[in-house]
Homo-oligomer: A and B are copies of this chain.
Amino acid sequence: MSSSTTQGQDIARLIISCPDQPGIVAAVSELISELGGNIISLDQYSTGVEGGRFFQRTVFHLPGLVAAKPQVEAAVEERLAQRFAMEWSLTEADKPKRVAIFASKTDHCLLDLLWRHRRGELPMEIAMVVSNHPGLAEDVRTFGIPFVHVPVVNGDKAAAEAQHLELLQGNVDFVVLARYMQIISEDFLERVGVPIINIHHSFLPAFIGAGPYQKAKDRGVKLIGATAHYVTEDLDEGPIIEQDVIRVSHADEVAQLTRYGADVERSVLSRAVKWHCEDRVLRNGNTTIVF
């Protein structure tokens, strides 16, 4: 994928997917040109020319984008979407997505996101941090970000999730689970209505489930890893966004694997979040395309 700076005012991103057929790239670029736009970056991928699905992310500059957006959307719908049976979305590059970050007691992923956000690396607005533990409140508030403690009282997870839904609905565009140690219910998933990114502390599909570093130690692997993925009903089975690994040795105890793993987790999660914010991650069944 390109890493060039394609942020800023009057910059739009058109994300499309449709059955593959000749002429899609030309049709999209002609339309953008006609509307007065200038293409900055264009990535595409097809799962196969015959019967495959086509995906494209087009970044373009259009003077007066905010005012023109309804007109652009209408043109895309009429001129492209119907002709190509296209699913699409149009976003403004300088309009950051709003996110809620969920955490528990472990701080490394959360702090890394907060710090990168403050540095300007992550084009998002952090609406709130939600935790089932109060311990990270002070750290979070130092960054000037609201911290909401939602404990699970008497094991009543449903009540906690109801409170989560109230906090989230209408307020956020996606959720990040930054080592949040509670299982998300299917009911919550259906109702929340926004994508959820999770960081799993193993190189999936190896060591699914709890205690992956202990499992890695027992199996004697020579590399450990972490995986950022979208959350689906199947635990640890959702579409993978990003993964990475680090070399370990026989001499590393589980505690040391955990420390090494923390470094991989935070870097993998931050990349996944950044790419999601930039509309680079397209879902294709249970896999992702990352432009």
**Residues of A near any B CB (own CB < 8 A):** 2-5, 22-27, 29-30, 32-33, 37-46, 49, 61, 107-108, 111, 115, 119, 121, 138-139, 142, 203-207, 218-223, 225, 239-245, 248-253, 255-256, 259, 262-263, 267, 284, 286-290
Known: A107-B115, A142-B142. 8 other contacts (CB 8 A): A4-B252, A38-B49, A119-B259, A119-B262, A204-B206, A204-B221, A221-B240, A250-B287
> 9 A-B Cβ contacts within 8 A?
A4-B252, A22-B38, A25-B42, A26-B30, A107-B119, A121-B259, A203-B206, A204-B219, A220-B240
Closest chain B CB from A284 CB (angstroms)? 7
Contact A45 B219, beta carbon cutoff 8 Å? no
CA distance A192 to B252 in the complex (A): 33
Most buried by B among A220, A262, A284: A220
Closest residue of B by beta carbon distance from A241: B222
Given A44-B41, A206-B205, A3–B252 Cβ distance below 8 Å? yes
- Cβ A220 vs Cβ B41 within 8 A: no
B5 touches A26 (CB 8 A): no
| A205 and B219 contact, CB distance less than 8 A | yes
Minimal beta-carbon separation of A174 from chain B (angstroms): 19
- A103 to B38 Cα, complex, angstroms: 43
Q: Which of A27, A203, A239, A241 has the most chain B CB atoms closer than 10 A to its own CB? A: A203
Known: A223-B245, A240-B221, A284-B250. A33 touches B23 (CB 8 A): yes
A46 adjacent to B40 (CB under 8 Å): yes
With the chains together, A203 CA to B244 CA distance in Å? 12
B contact residues around A5 at 8 Å (CB): 253, 255-256
Of A26, A243, A252, A263, the most chain B CB neighbours within 10 A belong to A26
* A250 and B33 in contact, given A46-B40, A220-B239, A240-B219 (Cβ under 8 angstroms): no
* Bound: A37/B256 CA distance, A: 25
Kindly state the separation between the CA atoms of A107 and B143 in the bound complex, as whole angstroms: 14
A61 contact set on B, CB distance < 8 A: 22, 49
Q: How far is the CA of A221 from the CA of B237 in the complex (A)?
A: 11
- In the assembly, what is the distance between CA of A53 and CA of B260, in Å? 25
Bound: A79/B262 CA distance, A: 44
